[in-house]
Chains A and B, each alone.
Chain A
């Protein structure tokens, strides 16, 4: 049975992602314990909260360094929603607070005139080189987004007043702007593919 460790980043509701992973046959542990996170077979960086608050809390607790090392080593990580944005260097949401900096880009707000937050289903197109990601419909809940698939990653895109990054993958590292745990059978299948390669 695959073991998955979900990082407790604060006031996030983690029940949905934990339930989806359990449906996929995983044993799920939710923790903020540094040693548990460092030793995790598979790590989930969940996605609720504000960029600045969570980035600060990850740094304050020492989890940031552990996460950066794990991501740089290409060990299994699933980052969801804000989790994807935290991989970037910075975000317009909290311009004074640096992210984890694995991706040299700034997260931006959706253009004026669009529904913000984007709170609903949107079509996702998988780009070249994707092994985990597939075309489909995914459930999003975000006001900010990454604009382009960075070099060294494969990615999927969606459109909300312009193209944005729906998800990124690199080996067993999968970062989703959408919520795979809320994206029906398509999302469940994606999570199960991640459990298999991770």
Chain B
């Protein structure tokens, strides 16, 4: 259950992963009060209660949240994305469904705009070490597809933002995959949110210096290791402009 801290266009802290939380709306309000800049809810549909529950969660979070809200996980059609936007999401993230049917990105951008359309790109280093490949189904399936070429095509088709997760680093706390980040950065001009492995403000500052527009951190917030306010304070001391 990762939760992400980040920066966009000079400032920003984002969070992901309220799915196991007892009261997402209460947590969302708490993170907003701590100074989070954005909230990302992933896999809300992957609950036993299914999609109706996801929509109810999005509605409850929306009522209290004065920040951008990205929702993803299991979105396979423009209609499903539309329901999430109607419920209060500002952006919808797609991964597996877009890899399996590329036109989904065109459809989302045409109906809702590029600014609503996020490609969640999960990448892992190829087993032979030569570059990275796209992984889908929450990391269970390697596709062989080039993880640098894919976001380039996705941005042309309609993705207005790339949520780039290093599957090698996710959960390790060893820092973002800066090589992967630099490679994807050189491929697209749309904003990139770096994710996977970020555990310290120093990790975040390095990712931001490598071309991420925002960084997303996970377990450090979930586990109560630190707070958004503390992270932002340290980022500011490191010379990163943050919204406070």
Which of A's residues lie within 8 Å of B, judged by CB? 11, 13, 15-16, 19-20, 22-23, 48-50, 113-123, 137, 139-143, 160, 179, 181-185, 187-188
In the assembled complex, 11 residue pairs joining A and B whose CB atoms fall closer than 8 Å, in A order, are A15-B85, A15-B87, A19-B63, A115-B191, A117-B160, A117-B161, A117-B191, A119-B213, A139-B68, A141-B68, A143-B115
Complex Cα spacing A179 to B65, Å:
13
Assess the A13–B90 pair: CB atoms within 8 A: yes
Chain A residues, Cβ within 8 Å of B12: 120-121
- Assuming the contacts A11-B82, A16-B62, A139-B68, asked whether A117 and B114 have C-beta atoms less than 8 A apart, the reply is yes
Q: How many B residues touch A, CB cutoff 8 Å?
A: 38
9 closest A-B pairs by beta carbon, nearest first, are A120-B8, A120-B9, A13-B85, A15-B88, A141-B115, A121-B11, A137-B243, A119-B191, A182-B68
Question: Is B52 positioned at the interface, with any CB of A under 8 Å from its CB?
Answer: no
Secondary structure type dominating chain A contacts: mixed
In the complex, which of the residues A115, A179, A185 contacts B213, with contact meaning CB atoms closer than 8 Å?
A: A115
B106 to chain A, nearest CB (A): 14
Complex Cα spacing A187 to B125, Å:
41
Chain A residues, Cβ within 8 Å of B37: 121, 139, 184
Which of B's residues lie within 8 Å of A, judged by CB? 7-12, 32, 37, 59, 62-69, 82, 85-90, 111-116, 160-161, 189-191, 213-214, 243
Q: Which residue of B lies closest to A22 (CB)?
A: B63
Highest count of chain A CB atoms <10 Å: which of B59, B62, B66, B114: B66
Chain B residues, Cβ within 8 Å of A122: 9-10
Chain B residues, Cβ within 8 Å of A16: 62, 69, 88, 90
Complex Cα spacing A122 to B242, Å:
10
In the complex, which of the residues B9, B86, B191, B214 contacts A15, with contact meaning CB atoms closer than 8 Å?
A: B86
In the complex, which of the residues A11, A116, A123 contacts B189, with contact meaning CB atoms closer than 8 Å?
A: A116
Assess the B214–A120 pair: CB atoms within 8 A: yes
B5 to chain A, nearest CB (A): 14
Complex Cα spacing A23 to B66, Å:
9
In the complex, which of the residues A48, A121, A123, A179 contacts B113, with contact meaning CB atoms closer than 8 Å?
A: A48
Chain B residues, Cβ within 8 Å of A140: 9
B204 to chain A, nearest CB (A): 15
Chain A residues, Cβ within 8 Å of B189: 113-116
